Amino acid sequence: MNLELKYTRQSYTVVYKRMFFCKKSAGHVAILKLAFLCFNGPMSDEQFMRAALELAEQAQAAGEVPVGAVVVKDGKIIGRGFNAPISRHDPSAHAEMQALREAAHFLGNYRLVGCELYVTLEPCLMCAGAIMHARIARLVYGAQDFKTGVCGSLLNLFGEMGSPTPDAPLTTPVRLNHHTDVAGGVLAQECGLMLSNFFAMRRAQKKMLWK
């Protein structure tokens, strides 16, 4: 292991323990974990998805559907978000929307050119539209959503766009003017398990209320 990386991880462990025992705050711990991930060199899709999962845990702690998202620019997280439509009284407060807003504020531009978005659940129609308008270069999601997902599960909105090349000419007309590369299934089992456990708990709570 690289000595610098090893030293950084040891320092993180010490700071993490101090914060855990002093603060005992899930929010502080999650922020520290994300900071640790950001400052340890290039990260993989799985590592960025784990950062999104940390945010999904915050949503769950607040009683929201556990979905988290991060926006990445040049290998660094610049936007974070988790589901909060209930607590914010805002139907648009999905994890992706929150992360896009924070990233746009960070860059001072509503166009997030060259950015990637990682989200634990396949985006819905609303979020897919925002991803396109923001000019996100690449979208990576975890679990599929067969009820509202528009990356191929229910619809394939991102399949409506693309640029023809000599090697791969389009067989269907291009109807949208921006192309976002999409990769699904990253840590899909972990992302899906968090959601299924949450809804199982909700169903159990409802049954208890009716007894």
Residues with a catalytic annotation lie at: 96
- Residue 151 and residue 100 in contact, taking contact as beta carbons nearer than 8 Å: no
Q: 136: helix, coil or strand?
A: coil
The helix or strand, by DSSP H or E, that contains position 139, with its residue range, turns out to be: strand 138-143
| CA geometry: angle 152, 73, 62, nearest 5 deg | 65
Tokens in use for 69? 């998202």
Q: How far is CA 36 from the centre of its chain?
A: 17
